[in-house]
Amino acid sequence: MDKAYKVLKIDELSRVRDAGGVEKYYRHQIKTKGGIVLTVDIDEEDFTTEKAAPILEAKAVNADKIKAL
């Protein structure tokens, strides 16, 4: 099966929570089949293969649909 995107880069970043403390998140740069380059942020708890793949897939498919309008 051919994926709708290719991961170009992943950066681990931190930010201050509204309620205090620090949280990590991961910034993915992906390229869709249609050639669109997107940045998608994924929270630390969703940074697993099972959780991240559907998020990235949905963003890539939606971007290519919008491009086709």
| 13: pLDDT strictly greater than 70 | yes
Q: How far is CA 7 from CA 21, 29, 32, 69, in A?
A: 29, 6, 9, 24
Domain that holds residue 20: 5-67
What CA–CA distances, in Å, run from 64 to 10, 23, 27? 21, 31, 20
pLDDT tens figures, 16-58: 988 889 999 999 999 999 999 999 999 999 999 999 999 999 9
Rounded to an integer, the average pLDDT of 10-20 is: 94
Task: Please count the structural domains in the chain.
Answer: 1
pLDDT of residue 1: 56
